[in-house]
Structure 1
Amino acid sequence: MPEPGPSPRQSSLPAAAVHFGTHGHGRGIEAFGGGRPALPSAPAPSARPLPSAPAPFSAPTLPPLPAPAEVAVPATVPVAVPEPTPALRRILRGPSGLGTAGLYPTRGEEASAPSESAPAGHPIPGLLYHPVPEPDPVRVEEVGRRIKAWAVDEVELFPADWEDQFDGFSLGRYMVACHPDAPTVDHVMIATRLMAAENALDDCYCEDHGGSPVGLGGRLLLAHTALDPLHTTPEYQPAWAESLHCDAPRRGYRSAMEYFVREASPSQADRYRHDMARLHLGYLAEAAWAQTDYVPEVWEYLAMRQFNNFRPCPTITDTVGGYELPADLHAQPALQRIIALAGNATTIVNDLYSYTKELAAPGLHLNLPVVIAERENLSARDAYLKAVEVHNDLMRSFEGAAADLAAQLPDPGLLRFLRGVAAWVDGNHYWHQTNTYRYSLPDFW
């Protein structure tokens, strides 16, 4: 008798997904404002221990960052703070009631109460955004201390004369604001190391801090092997392994990924690698345009920005939250659209807040206002204001798509993931608005 074959693979997709899409499409954001569905209980996630620190390696000598531009901003500017729709409020609030306490692991953690005072910095007038409370100062301070120790002592991510620039980035405040449901500081650190490594690579490989579009493809490919390991012969394996310590971006990628994969599932790690490949493809497109002095059409620029954007950050919100959204649910086209829209909207926020900083830097820096002005023959002011509207359209699409999916598939894990992505979008805006060390607004109002 032949040996029996393996059992059929069981899908981890919730049963509700079987009917997803069978009730018709086009259910707008108001469709999510009805009664709350009954939610099954969910156990609190258990955090796996994080690895011990790897040994540090020597850092290259790198030039200092340029000083940020100083642009006068009106003392008072009008702020577009929309009243959250019932759908958005529900996504942000998440499920409640009997059996849902496990979805809020930080509620039982002792920490200082966040301040409700208004943050520093001016929001962009007319921009669609949702304010957030000040992030927990205890966590902010601890994440800031740990990320600097990692960057300086473990991977030597930057030379000494970059220290003020690193401090001014305010990574602790950034990541705590973006991940309010992280159960521990260790979980916040997963995202913080990855963010620091990504920015180091962007600065050293792509920007004017030692980077260049010439030869970028080769540098990116080799750096990507710190995330997606090379599988080669014993003869060549040692040379590749040694190469992972040869410059700051690769040291940062290697170490941050080691911490990440020990907390993430294989599926979550592969998801992140995929999104980083998307990011690197976007870098290459922008570099190719820089080499040929090509200013893309607006739609071409937005296509590039769908790849060269923040997508790798919100897509790991479940890992940082200490749980896992099943792979087959994450791969649903509707959720992929939501994640893409979140990445696109948050990246245009970066274009808008960094506008004056990039104008002050040498060379032509492509951003949405610059491209709109060039391709649609608009003044700098009109192009900037139109870029604000592009962002707002993306935000409305993101919120509507999230509400529609949540209404059609009210799985508690999905609702938590959507809430995490929405929190990342809001935290990203908060950091850009309040980081007056890096950003200032143009005088267009």
Structure 2
Amino acid sequence: MNGPTGLGTSAARLRPPGASAAAGGRTGALPVPPLHCPDVLRDDPALGAEVNDRLVDWAEEVGIHAGRLDSLRVTDFGRLMMLAHPGTDDPDLLLAIGRCTVAAWTADDYYCDDRGAGAVPELAAARMAIAATVLDPASFPAAYAPDLRRAIRSDPVLVALRSAREHLGRYATPTQVARACREQLSMFQAASAEAVWRCTGRTPSVWEYLVNRQMGSQAPILALVDAGECYRLPTRAYTDPQVRRAFLKAALASALVNDLYSMARENAGPDQDFNLPVVIAAEDGCTLAEALARSAAVHDELMRDFEASAASLSRLGPPELARFLAGVHAWLAGNRAWHAGSARYATTPAY
């Protein structure tokens, strides 16, 4: 596929005349609508800068973003960690969670989204399958295990994923690490499905897109909220169906924030990406401005449902659950604030 097809082509046609890439809180020439989201609880630029510097150093060490470390630096994942995890001021702990975040974003860029970084949609599913063995190590026959080890050592993305998982284990319990890895495996599955849409030039329906976006949300990082504050949410509480429904609404809402703020970056190049506004516009035959408003309404519905569920569950569940749900709420605030200010989603894309 050498040019925009399917959904990407529709997105290009839907962009208003004269629209450019997004700046901060804008999508092309259109502002991101106001979103129902709490304010951040903490803004400590110095802490964010320290974590960010250490994340860039780690990226150089494992070999990701080679030749583009300046772009990684201005993306400022350290600031995301500082804003989204106000319950700790420990840079080592924020670095551990930050490594997981950067590794996940890098896998998506390198395998699915960014051809300049080597992404090949036709190979995405196969690459994600190998990446899954890093998070859930395969029990291989002795004759073939060396081949897998060599494959992992030769791919910086896989090195980063393994490094992040191992480093997280210094601060999180085995249960917390396994929980985050399981959520990450769902994200890999969602990325593989999206790659199929790209390869076939097929635009998903809105409901189908939301199913996949639910799996490809920020759930792997949200799952670490308790690890980020050095306590443990009981497994029984995390897997309770009512808690799970509330958690997934929050995770999907966080993903839709990414959809809204990343539109210009993702629709600016030859490889158009999928996001809720362009899928709504294609299905409903409405303008992009109307689709943005409808997408914001979907986000707000999810947020209000999460807040109502969290309030009820916090009264009925163990103290750790109330703390966890409050931490998820704070994470959502930090996620939205970071998206509004990161150079990754600025007028001139960082990369």
Alignment match, 2:15: none
Deviations 1:76-119 (A, max 9, x none): xxxxxxxxxxxxxxxxxxxxxxxxxxxxxxxxxxxxxxxxxxxx
Where does the alignment leave 5 or more consecutive residues of structure 2 unmatched?
1-19
Alignment match, 1:137: 45
- 5 Å-filtered alignment, 1:110-129, equals 124-129=32-37
Alpha-carbon distance, 1:151 to partner: 0.9
Alpha-carbon distance, 1:182 to partner: 2.3
Deviations 1:35-93 (A, max 9, x none): xxxxxxxxxxxxxxxxxxxxxxxxxxxxxxxxxx6457899xxxxxxxxxxxxxxxxxx
Contact 2:246–2:310 at 8 Å: present in 1 too?
yes
* Structure 1 position 391 matched with structure 2 position 299: yes
**Which TM-score applies when normalising by structure 2?**
0.87
Local SS of the residue matching 1:167: helix
Whole-angstrom CA distance in 2 between matches of 1:141 and 1:73 = 19
* Structure 1 position 281 matched with structure 2 position 194: no
Whole-angstrom CA distance in 1 between matches of 2:178 and 2:315 = 28
- Of 427, 430, 439 in structure 1, the residue corresponding to residue 337 of structure 2 is 430
Letter in 2 for 1:399: E
Deviations 1:370-415 (A, max 9, x none): 0000001101111111111111111111111111111222x22111
* Structure 1 position 175 matched with structure 2 position 81: yes
Residues 384 and 368 of structure 1: is their aligned pair in 2 closer, same or farther, counting only changes over 3 Å? same
Alignment match, 1:240: 148
- 5 Å-filtered alignment, 1:77-116, equals none
Whole-angstrom CA distance in 2 between matches of 1:334 and 1:72 = 38
Contact 1:183–1:322 at 8 Å: present in 2 too?
no
Alignment match, 2:11: none
Letter in 2 for 1:419: A
Whole-angstrom CA distance in 1 between matches of 2:121 and 2:341 = 31
Alignment match, 1:345: 253
Alignment match, 2:101: 195
User: RCO (CA 8 Å, sep 6+): is it higher in 1 or 2?
Assistant: 2
Alpha-carbon distance, 1:126 to partner: 2.7
Alpha-carbon distance, 1:179 to partner: 0.7
Alpha-carbon distance, 1:141 to partner: 2.0
Local SS of the residue matching 2:35: coil
Alpha-carbon distance, 1:439 to partner: 3.2
Alignment match, 2:346: 439
Alignment match, 1:250: 158
Contact 1:123–1:433 at 8 Å: present in 2 too?
no
Alignment match, 1:16: none
- Of 369, 376, 386 in structure 1, the residue corresponding to residue 277 of structure 2 is 369
Local SS of the residue matching 1:407: helix
Contact 2:249–2:303 at 8 Å: present in 1 too?
yes
Contact 1:126–1:388 at 8 Å: present in 2 too?
yes
Alignment match, 1:184: 90
Whole-angstrom CA distance in 2 between matches of 1:73 and 1:213 = 28
Whole-angstrom CA distance in 2 between matches of 1:129 and 1:278 = 25
Local SS of the residue matching 1:312: helix
Letter in 2 for 1:262: R
Whole-angstrom CA distance in 2 between matches of 1:348 and 1:203 = 18
Count of equivalent residues: 324
Alpha-carbon distance, 1:335 to partner: 1.1
Where does the alignment leave 5 or more consecutive residues of structure 1 unmatched?
1-68, 76-121
Contact 2:246–2:306 at 8 Å: present in 1 too?
yes
Residues 266 and 359 of structure 1: is their aligned pair in 2 closer, same or farther, counting only changes over 3 Å? same
Contact 1:348–1:368 at 8 Å: present in 2 too?
yes
Deviations 1:268-297 (A, max 9, x none): 122112101110111111111111111111
**Which TM-score applies when normalising by structure 1?**
0.69
Local SS of the residue matching 1:159: coil
Deviations 1:216-242 (A, max 9, x none): 211111111111112123333232222
Whole-angstrom CA distance in 2 between matches of 1:159 and 1:227 = 23
Q: Please state which structure has a larger fraction of its residues in helix.
A: 2
Alpha-carbon distance, 1:308 to partner: 1.1
- Of 256, 259, 262 in structure 1, the residue corresponding to residue 170 of structure 2 is 262
Residues 123 and 419 of structure 1: is their aligned pair in 2 closer, same or farther, counting only changes over 3 Å? farther
Alpha-carbon distance, 1:187 to partner: 1.0
Contact 1:353–1:440 at 8 Å: present in 2 too?
no
RMSD: 2.1
Whole-angstrom CA distance in 1 between matches of 2:23 and 2:138 = 49
Whole-angstrom CA distance in 2 between matches of 1:266 and 1:176 = 24
Contact 2:261–2:345 at 8 Å: present in 1 too?
no
Whole-angstrom CA distance in 1 between matches of 2:332 and 2:241 = 20
Alpha-carbon distance, 1:436 to partner: 4.5
Alpha-carbon distance, 1:427 to partner: 0.5
Contact 1:224–1:277 at 8 Å: present in 2 too?
yes
* Structure 1 position 329 matched with structure 2 position 255: no
Contact 2:190–2:212 at 8 Å: present in 1 too?
yes
Whole-angstrom CA distance in 1 between matches of 2:111 and 2:150 = 19
Local SS of the residue matching 1:275: helix
Whole-angstrom CA distance in 2 between matches of 1:216 and 1:376 = 29
Whole-angstrom CA distance in 2 between matches of 1:258 and 1:220 = 19
- Of 406, 418, 423 in structure 1, the residue corresponding to residue 314 of structure 2 is 406
Contact 1:216–1:284 at 8 Å: present in 2 too?
yes
Contact 1:338–1:398 at 8 Å: present in 2 too?
yes
Local SS of the residue matching 2:220: coil
